[in-house]
Structure 1
Amino acid sequence: MIIVLFCVFALGSPVEPVDSNVYHEGAQALINGTPLYHFAPGHLLFTYPPFAALILSWMAPMTEHGAWLVMTALSCATVTLSCQRASRLGLLPTAPIGKARRVAFHLPCWAIALVILNPFWETIAKGQINIILMAVCLLGLTTDRRFWGGFAIGLCGGCKLTPLALGLPALRRHDWAHLAGMATGFLASIAIGWLLLPGTSQEYWTDLMWDTGRVGGLDYPANASVNGVLWRHCPTTVRSALWVLLGLAVIVAGWLLLPRHLDEARRSDDLVTTVAVSATVMLLISPVSWNHHWVWLPFIAVWAARVLPRRLSIVMTCLAAPVALAGPLYLARIIALPLGYDPLSPAVAWTGDILPVLALVVLVGALVTRRSSAQSSYL
């Protein structure tokens, strides 16, 4: 399965691997001793913490295409392994057949289904690290080794800050071992970066970390976060206040929906909720969640189908399907070009709002359903 996926992307990708090229240029800057965060004009900037550059330094002696091929192989492998683990834990639905047949049948089906989705095929085509980080964080969220699970997520946070939001389930359950692991992993990544790259680390952690504009235009249709929606549609005077209020509301909703403990009798349901809700909160509250960051979408969709009324789930699926398959930018082009619009014009920028708005609806719907179920049980 890994070989098949690799061949498909290696031989047929029409998208320029812009992200792996940035990683490659950052790795070369690191090895050559040139500034990591200040590339030549016209180049995309390296925006990750110094620890990420150290992790990616293996790219330096390779060509850009060679580095992308390795990233493609790693992403295809982690998609397959994630499907295997998710199917085994009940995070992805499977048919009630024998174990050997279940693996042989469902693994390729789910792997193919996932890479058809825009977050996956665009991540692989661009050489992004999202799928690899998702796989590590998925393991961290679902393992019984709480400290080491947290440690893995903390290291991911040292590569890309957004995974730190995945600590919300552990905070809800008072899982101090997991939180201690997260803190240890994150602080270890900072310490390693500071030890090996002191000047670069000081520049990043004291200055560049706060500059969200370095990652691209926040109003770009590909920014599928609450902040992206506000940047596209709200005046500057109220944008920041609304983002804070909505971000807090999302966190509170996630807190209320997350299980207080993992019940062995309904472990599969609790794990689905833990993974889906924490990922939804992370993607919504981040200042920037590009469409290819939504590699958690399959788990969110499975959870939404379980907690929402069936008719609402069907409607939500139909609304999400075009952007989930094509992505907001490609969907905007499909709509705009026949009408003579610029694909980046405000007239079609709403394609970037679909995923975050639907995710907010899912959170609200889950809260309403939960409250109705609680009242019915009480009566």
Structure 2
Amino acid sequence: MSSGASELRQATPQRIMRVGVIGFVVLVVLAVASVLMVLFGVPMDVIYWGIFHNFLDLDVYRHGGSFVVQGLPLYDGPVLQGMMFTYTPFAGILFTVWAVLTFQQAIVVWTVLNVLALFAVVVLCWKYLGYRLGVKTYAVSALATVIFLFMEPVRTTLWLGQINIFLLLLIVWDLGRDEKSRLRGIGAGIAAGVKLTPAFFWAYLFITKQWRALVTAVITFAATVALGFIVMYNDALTYWTGTLFDSDRVGRTDSPSNQSVSGLIAQLTHTPTPSKVLVLGCSVVAVCLGLGAAWMAHRRGQKLLGLTMTGLTATTVSPFSWGHHWVWFVPLVILASHYAMASKKIWAWVVPIVFLLPVLNWSHTWPIPAADMQGTDRFIGMGMFMLPSPDYLRIAMVAVYLWVFVVAAAMTLIVFGWKKWTVPNLEAADTPA
């Protein structure tokens, strides 16, 4: 398949979302189950762990924005309850809009915007896969959005009031567009200006020779840095010359919450300072695997898959990746569902199920109460389900997100690297479920 043909199909969607009565019944049942689990898996009134009893990160954003408004030093110490502000000066400027709201007002607005952003991501995924945006597509997208609420990265993003879904939307909207789109790359530049991890997409743009988007992204990012210096010079200087390199501000590398290569190695070696050589070596392997899969997907005209593999790779090799950083599992599950529909084989639906189940939330009770957990009940992902446990179980369970990444990358390389394999044409292949 030529990339030009793929771009043409994306510009003029031809695929129809053919979901029959049985398919809608299944989606509705899953959506209802998701809502019940999000609301009652851990009762809503449970302090700290209830879905509406946290929003700590959102409050940090608010206080960071307030520091900017008041001209207080943003990086000299905690901004709220011992919590450091870990984002860029540009992010601090953006967060000033939340300083005018009360905490409760911010919770309502932020939660609604997050859910709408997630819905937009789902719709854009179907659009860039070539589906017509009709009533059925929007209905399926709405139900999928509700189902994804029970995905650990999404539920934790909402619970903490995190920003990851907005960054996901920026990247998908921007780099999912036709390569001839004007100012393509500006969204990727803004995302990197808020949080540095999205700058990893520059590597994807480089290896796929998307030069104009790469230049636009870099220039946009530079503009966000310049704005930070203009508005808050001292804070910007502090951040870019020191704070940026202080990983301890985020958390201990060996924290079980760190779902990254460095986190796994730190836990296996039982040290918060794992061997830099070992981490670097494993990270290089992960980058080669992930970007290799992204390059292969792009080469075969699968742009959204290329972006998704890049997002998963960035999270894998980041020095510290909380569970909520893995929101790229959302487009991964959509892609797996898309290919399952294309195959017209029942067994193909095993793939999206395999990708989805490990990243759902699961109720867990810690055997020993911990002061920093404010109680024993916790709703967490499978990554922390086996703690404490022997190292061999940690590799299997604690690294579950990494294993999903490895499987997705390997499948991409095998399927799209096989020259005899033809990308299915859903224009004729869609059948009612």
Taking structure 1 as the reference length, what is the TM-score of the superposition?
0.81
Displacement of 1:245: 1.2
Further displaced range: 279-288 or 215-224: 215-224
Is the 8 Å Cα contact of residues 304 and 362 (structure 1) preserved in structure 2?
Answer: no
Task: Measure the CA separation in 1 of the matches of 2:133 and 2:274.
Answer: 54
Aligned to 1:184: 219
The answer to whether residue 97 in structure 2 is matched with residue 75 in structure 1 is: no
Matching residue within 128, 150, 157 for 2:185: 150
1:57 to 96, 100, 119: 96
The question of 1:279 aligning with 2:316 is answered no
The one-letter code sitting in structure 2 at the alignment partner of 1:192 is L
In the alignment, is residue 111 of structure 1 matched against residue 145 of structure 2?
A: yes
* % identical aligned pairs: 23
Distance 1:84 1:319 in 2: 20
92, 105, 125: which is aligned to 1:86?
125
For residues 53-74 of structure 1, what are the alpha-carbon distances to aligned partners after superposition, in whole Å with 9 as ceiling and x for unaligned?
0011011122122222221122
| In 2, Cα distance between equivalents of 1:241 and 1:202 | 30
Return the alpha-carbon distance in structure 1 between the equivalents of residues 230 and 193 of structure 2: 14
User: Which deviations, in whole Å up to 9, do the C-alpha atoms of 1:151-200 show, x marking residues without a partner?
Assistant: 21111101000001122331122111011011111100100001111100
- Kindly provide the amino acid, as one letter, of the partner of residue 68 in structure 2: L
Does the 8 Å contact 1:139/1:149 carry over to 2? no
Letter in 2 for 1:358: V
Instruction: Summarize the Cα distance change of 1:107–1:303 in structure 2 as closer, same or farther, 3 Å threshold.
Output: closer
Encode CA deviations 1:199-255: one digit per residue, 9 max, x unaligned. Answer: 000100000101111011222222111111111112658631121112112222233
Cα distance per residue 1:3-29 (max 9 Å; x no partner): xx99x9899834400110110111111
Give the aligned residue type for 1:23. Y
Q: Deviations over 1:32-73 (max 9, x none)?
A: 222212126842111001000001101112212222222112
| Secondary structure of 1:39's aligned partner | coil
Q: Do the aligned residues in 2 keep the contact of 1:150 with 1:178 (CA within 8 Å)?
A: yes
Tell me the C-alpha RMSD between the 2 structures. Answer: 3.6
Counterpart code for 2:96: S
Q: 1:21 to 1:164 in 2, by over 3 A?
A: same
Q: Kindly tell me: are residues 336 and 316 of structure 1, through their superposed partners in 2, closer, same or farther at Cα, counting changes over 3 Å?
A: farther
Alignment partner for residue 18 of structure 1, among 56, 65, 71? 56
**Structure 2: tracts of 5 or more residues without a match:** 1-33, 370-375, 379-383, 423-433
Aligned to 2:278: 242
In the TM superposition, what are the counterparts of 1:340-379 in structure 2 within 5 Å? 346-347=388-389, 350=394, 351-370=397-416, 373-374=418-419
1:105 is displaced (CA, Å) by: 2.4
Greater helix share, structure number: 1
Superposition pairs for residues 2-17 of structure 1, below 5 Å? 13-17=51-55
- Tell me the equivalent position of 2:287: 251
Q: Is the 8 A contact 1:280 1:300 kept in 2?
A: no
Which residue in 2 is equivalent to 1:294?
326
State the TM-score, normalizing by the size of structure 2.
0.72
Contact 2:123–2:138 (CA under 8 A) maintained in structure 1: no
Distance 1:310 1:334 in 2: 36
Distance in 2 between the 1:104 and 1:376 partners? 31
Relative distance call for 1:278 and 1:146 in structure 2 (3 A) is farther
8 Å Cα contact 2:68/2:74 also seen in 1: yes
Task: Tell me, in whole angstroms, the C-alpha distance in 2 between the residues paired with 1:106 and 1:57.
Answer: 36
Report the Cα distance in structure 1 between the residues aligned to 2:54 and 2:359, rounded to whole angstroms.
20
Helix, strand or coil at the partner of 2:183: helix
Distance 1:301 1:221 in 2: 24
User: Which 5+ residue runs of structure 1 have no aligned equivalent?
Assistant: none
Q: Which has the higher contact order (CA 8 A, sep 6+)?
A: 2
2:79–2:85: 8 Å Cα contact kept in structure 1?
no
Aligned mates of 2:200, 2:326 — CA distance in 1: 14
Conservation of the 8 A alpha-carbon contact between 2:298 and 2:306:
no
Q: Which stretch shifts more, 361-370 or 27-36? A: 361-370
Structure 2 CA distance for aligned equivalents of residues 316 and 103 of structure 1 = 18
Taking the aligned partners of 1:105 and 1:51, their CA distance within structure 2 comes to: 36
Query: How far apart are the structure 2 equivalents of 1:300 and 1:104?
Result: 19
Q: Which amino acid aligns with 1:186?
A: F
